């Protein structure tokens, strides 16, 4: 029997090392995530977009009429106003008020002790019912140090921060041993507005290309490979589409919307803890990404419906 559900439980706080809060003030309303150590990020937005390392992640509310000849310069000015370093910050924009923010946090404790130094450990649940990355995650060769990645220490990263230098050998062994006993933690923050709803593959007139936006931020307490981060984008997007389906969001012809014309997604990983090479829906990590994004999208989508008195 697959006991996946019984291992996973909800939490009231984000993944380790991350604080989150909504800021209101003269500069406007925005969600700010802050990390003590840089998070490895993959984002579809132009501010801190692509792969990078960032300590801060922002989902900023702007007016529906927001238009700027130089949006990068405008964002840098905004970050300076609120006291954040633009090189350390990745940003998303939304026209949805932060009162409609949805969030969800899940954790799964490691079901078994896992050895490092090249030894293979199998989970106590077995793998016969199909967790394709159980072997990859539990039988890895070794964990990397906290704050490190595929790049060499001190290597500049485009769109983000410089990687921290590696610790000494004793610290490395201690970090690897500690990381081997960690489970998985996933957090998601979603803002949903769908006045400009769309269905992927369906043509739209230029008049439909205005801001509305569903923004998704996913934070993972764990180490993700490049391919796992891309896989996480797929899983989060599928969860978004599933939430819209269950919210009954549809085009005029009755076909279900899969998103809006200006959606954005950002995946962030602590790069400490369990190694993940996959993040599809058949994996523990993918299951948790799907659940958190779906739950957060449903919360925000229902708030949006209520605010606009939609059926």
SS3 string of the chain? CCCHHHHEEECCCCCCCEEEEEECCCCCCEEEEEEEEEEEEEECCCCCCEEEEEEEEEEEECCCCCCCCCHHHHHHHHHHHCCCCHHHEEEEEECCCHHHCEEEEEEECCCCCCCCCCCCCCCCCCCCCCCCCHHHHHCCCCCCCCCCCCCCCCCCCCCCCCCCCCCCHHHHHHHHHHHHCCCEEEEEEEEECCCCEECCCCCCCHHHCCCCCEEEEEEEECEECHHHHHHHHHHHHHHHHHHHHHHCCECCCCCECCEECCCEEEEEECCCCCEECCCCCCCHHHHHHHHHHHHHHHHHHHHHHHHCCCC
Are 72 and 252 in contact by the 8 Å Cβ rule? The answer is no
Task: State the first-to-last Cα distance of the chain, in angstroms, to the nearest integer.
Answer: 40
Per-residue pLDDT, 159: 39
Give the bridge partners for 214, in sequence order: 192
Per-residue pLDDT, 74: 86
Contacts 24+ apart (CB under 8 A), 118-121: 118/142
The pLDDT tens digits of the residues spanning 91-125 come to 999 888 899 999 999 999 875 443 333 333 323 32
Per-residue pLDDT, 218: 98
Whole-model pTM: value is 0.76
Measured CA to CA, the distance from residue 18 to residue 55 in angstroms comes to 9
Closest CA to 157 of 220, 87, 218, 92: 87
Are 223 and 273 in contact by the 8 Å Cβ rule? The answer is yes
The set of residues, in sequence order, having a beta carbon less than 8 Å from that of 201 and lying 6+ positions away, is none
φ, ψ of residue 109 in degrees (nearest 5):
-75, 145
Per-residue pLDDT, 283: 95
Per-residue pLDDT, 2: 45
Burial 25-59 (b: 16+ CB within 10 A, else e): eeeebbbbbbbeebbbbbbebebbbebbbbbbbbb
Closest CA to 265 of 298, 231, 242: 231
Per-residue pLDDT, 208: 54
Low-confidence residues of the chain, pLDDT below 50?
Answer: 1-2, 5, 112-181
Tokens of 279: 């993040």
Tokens of 127: 């793998």
């Amino acid at each position: 029997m697959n006991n996946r559900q019984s291992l996973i439980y909800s939490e009231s706080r984000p993944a380790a090392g991350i604080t989150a809060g909504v800021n209101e003030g003269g500069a406007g309303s925005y969600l700010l995530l802050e990390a003590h150590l840089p998070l490895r990020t993959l984002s579809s937005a132009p501010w801190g977009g692509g792969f990078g390392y960032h300590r801060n992640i922002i989902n900023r509310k702007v007016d529906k009429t927001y238009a700027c000849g130089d949006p990068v310069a405008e964002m840098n000015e905004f970050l300076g106003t609120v006291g954040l370093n633009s090189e350390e910050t990745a940003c998303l924009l939304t026209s949805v008020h932060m009162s409609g923010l949805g969030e969800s946090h899940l954790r799964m404790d490691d079901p078994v002790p896992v050895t490092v130094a090249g030894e293979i450990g199998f989970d106590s649940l077995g793998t016969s019912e199909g967790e394709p990355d159980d072997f990859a995650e539990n039988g890895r060769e070794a964990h990397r140090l906290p704050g490190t990645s595929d790049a060499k220490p001190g290597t500049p990263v485009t769109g983000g921060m410089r990687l921290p230098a590696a610790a000494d050998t004793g610290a490395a062994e201690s970090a690897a041993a500690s990381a081997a006993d960690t489970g998985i933690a996933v957090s998601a923050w979603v803002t949903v507005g769908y006045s400009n709803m769309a269905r992927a593959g369906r043509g739209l007139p230029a008049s439909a290309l205005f801001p509305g936006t569903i923004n998704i931020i996913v934070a993972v307490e764990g180490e993700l490979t490049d391919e796992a981060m891309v896989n996480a984008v797929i899983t989060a997007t599928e969860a978004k589409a599933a939430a819209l389906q269950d919210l009954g969001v549809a085009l005029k012809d009755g076909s279900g919307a899969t998103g809006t014309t200006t959606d954005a997604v950002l995946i962030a990983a602590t790069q400490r803890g369990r190694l993940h090479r996959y993040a599809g829906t058949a994996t523990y990590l993918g299951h948790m990404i799907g659940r958190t994004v779906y739950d957060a999208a449903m919360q925000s989508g229902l708030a949006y419906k209520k605010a606009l008195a939609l059926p």
